[in-house]
Amino acid sequence: MKPAPFSYLAPRSREEAIDALRRHGPEAKILAGGQSLVPLLAMRLARPAIILDVNRIADLAFIAAGSRKIAIGAMTRQRTVEADATLGARVPLLRETLRWVGHPQIRTRGTIGGSMAHADPSAELPAVAAILDSSFTLQSARGLRTLTAAEFFTGYLTTALAPDELLTEVRFAAPPANAGWAFHEVARRHGDFALAGVAALVRMDGDRRCTDARLAFVGVGPGPVRVPDAEQHLVGRAITQAVADEMARIVQGALDPDGDIHASAAYRRHVAGVLAARAVLEAAGRTRVQA
Amino acid sequence: MTHALVRTHINGTEVARTVEVRRTLVDFIREDAGLTGTHVGCEHGVCGACTVLLDGQPVRSCLLFAVQADGSQVTTVEALGTPETLSPLQQAFVEHHGLQCGFCTPGFLMSAHALLRDDAHASDEAIRDALGGHLCRCTGYQSILEAVRAAAGRGT
């Protein structure tokens, strides 16, 4: 299983990369971590004429963690984000989620931006982006634009990236320190593609009633899936097992996953609800009372 | 460009070859550098048999193109020890039956080597986490875990 022949470019700067995309966009594929792309090339499911390797562009890898806003360069390795102490303190959800992304060897090369741009429906990081008020920065010779997660993830393995565009960074708002968070996933083996998963963020008031809840599901739709009715069900309520179970039934009623050889639609739908209940209870347990 | 000169250091020795840009690092290591200790299993990043260290970190060499290792240091299983002088980790695999056919073994060794280098007395959880991306068809994994535990100074 060898890739079909391709031509190769390895720009050393963003400007070089942008110019290469301007000239070759439609026939070029960007190579970031390669942990998703190279298997596709090996199996010849993708046969781009040109591979544009952006691994030599040093300033695309960075972590800028302000007190509320966090910016992560697209080429930042997943392993780097996982190990970053500041991110671990500000956005513990990210470190927890990354534990589920492949294996350490994958995360050594895999990048934050690459995972987002590949937009696999069973990818974990897009779900986290979907609940963290994210903004995606896309750059081309035509200029710069920023998109929300909902605008960025447009379908199965599809994003709003134009053929001449490069994702340069993802920004998101660090959740308030008193927010509770959780990430749950079911896969056949740890590190396998998620069959279903959920990222959750909740906030409570002084009476332990939920004031804000966000859930994004993995593996049950073309991209990360939010279920507003389920989130609304929690607001104003104490998150008890009974409330979580009611919410889970709303989730199961709302989701419409596809089935495949790894898991049926019914299985994914059922498990998503179960994981949602576990996640909101765990997240509730992690909240601290808002001041 | 369809071909490129790749200049890399493998186990401390410079290897420079002009190859097709689509040549994977594992094929470069095996065919161009003649180091066949690293194995090609699934060739799509699932089995871990191709694991080497790139600038000290474990990577799947079937998911890298050789040209991407230009200017980098690659470490393969041949660096750990020789048939005459096995490394303590390799010796632990021998003593604890951590291999049968040996096909997956170099990959396991490289990940275990990197783990114990960074965490000499790695816990069971850390060992499982580091090795979870490797498949073995022969041993059932328990003897591999025992071998690494022993090498971590925590054997029974």
Q: Does A58 touch chain B (CB under 8 A)?
A: no
Q: What is the pLDDT of residue B155?
A: 58
Residue A291 within any structural domain of the chain? no
Domains and CATH numbers, chain B: 3-79 (3.10.20.30), 88-151 (1.10.150.120)
Cβ contacts of A49 on chain B, cutoff 8 Å: none
A169 and A192 in one domain?
no
A39 to chain B, minimum CA–CA distance in Å?
A: 5
Domain count, chain A: 3
Give B42 to chain A, closest Cα distance, Å.
Answer: 9
The answer to whether position A1 is within a domain reads no
Q: Which domain holds residue A82?
A: 58-173
Q: Considering A173, A192, A224, which residue would you say is the last residue of a domain?
A: A173
Report pLDDT for B86: 96
Contact of A44 with chain B, judged by CB distance below 8 Å, is answered with no
Calculate the CA dihedral of residues A171, A40, A223, A91 and round it to 10 degrees. -30
Q: Do residues A78 and A107 both lie within one domain?
A: yes
Contacts of B1 in chain A (CB under 8 A): 7-9
Q: Indicate whether A22 and A67 sit together in one domain.
A: no
With bands split at pLDDT 50, 70 and 90, how would you rate the model's confidence at A239? very high
A/B interface, count of CB pairs below 8 Å: 84
* Distance of residue B12 Cα from the nearest chain A Cα, in angstroms: 21
- Residue B25 to residue B31: CA distance in whole angstroms: 10
> B43 in contact with A at a CB cutoff of 8 Å?
yes
pLDDT per position in chain B (156 positions), as tens?
Answer: 999 999 999 999 999 999 999 999 999 999 999 999 999 999 999 999 999 999 999 999 999 999 999 999 999 999 999 999 999 999 999 999 999 999 999 999 999 999 999 999 999 999 999 999 999 999 999 999 999 999 999 755
Q: Which of B21, B111, B132 sits opposite A190 (nearest CB)?
A: B132
A27 located within any domain: yes
Per-position DSSP letters for chain A, written without gaps between them: --PPP-EEE--SSHHHHHHHHHHHGGGEEEESS-TTHHHHHHTTS---SEEEE-TT-GGG--EEE-SSEEEEETT-BHHHHHH-HHHHHH-HHHHHHHTTSS-HHHHHH-BHHHHHHH--TT-SHHHHHHHTT-EEEEEETTEEEEEEHHHHEEETTEES--TT-EEEEEEEEPPPTT-EEEEEEE-SSTTSPPSEEEEEEEEE-TTS-EEEEEEEEESSSSS-EE-HHHHHHHTTS---HHHHHHHHHHHHHH--PPP-SS--HHHHHHHHHHHHHHHHHHHHHH-----
Nearest residue of B to residue A38, measured between CA atoms: B63
Q: CB-based contact (8 Å) between B65 and chain A?
A: yes
Q: Does residue A272 share a domain with residue A226?
A: yes
> Across the interface, do B59 and A109 touch by the CB < 8 Å criterion?
yes
pLDDT at B156: 52
Q: Do B22 and A6 touch (CB under 8 A)?
A: yes
Cβ–Cβ of B43/A42 closer than 8 Å?
yes
pLDDT in tens, A71-129: 999 999 999 999 999 999 999 999 999 999 999 999 999 999 999 999 999 999 999 99
- For the stretch A119-162, pLDDT in tens is 999 999 999 999 999 999 999 999 999 999 999 999 999 999 99
pTM for the model: 0.96
Nearest CA of chain A to the CA of B5: how many Å? 12
d(CA B25, CA B36): 12
Give domain status of residue A277, yes or no: yes
Residue B135 touches partner A, C-beta closer than 8 Å: no
Nearest residue to B99 via CA among B134, B133, B143: B143
Hey, is the C-beta of A92 within 8 angstroms of any chain B C-beta? no
pLDDT digits (tens, 9 = 90+) for B89-113: 999 999 999 999 999 999 999 999 9
A104 and chain B in contact, CB less than 8 A: yes
Residues of A with CB below 8 A from B43's CB?
A: 1, 42
Residue from B47, B117, B55, B57 nearest B88 by CA: B117
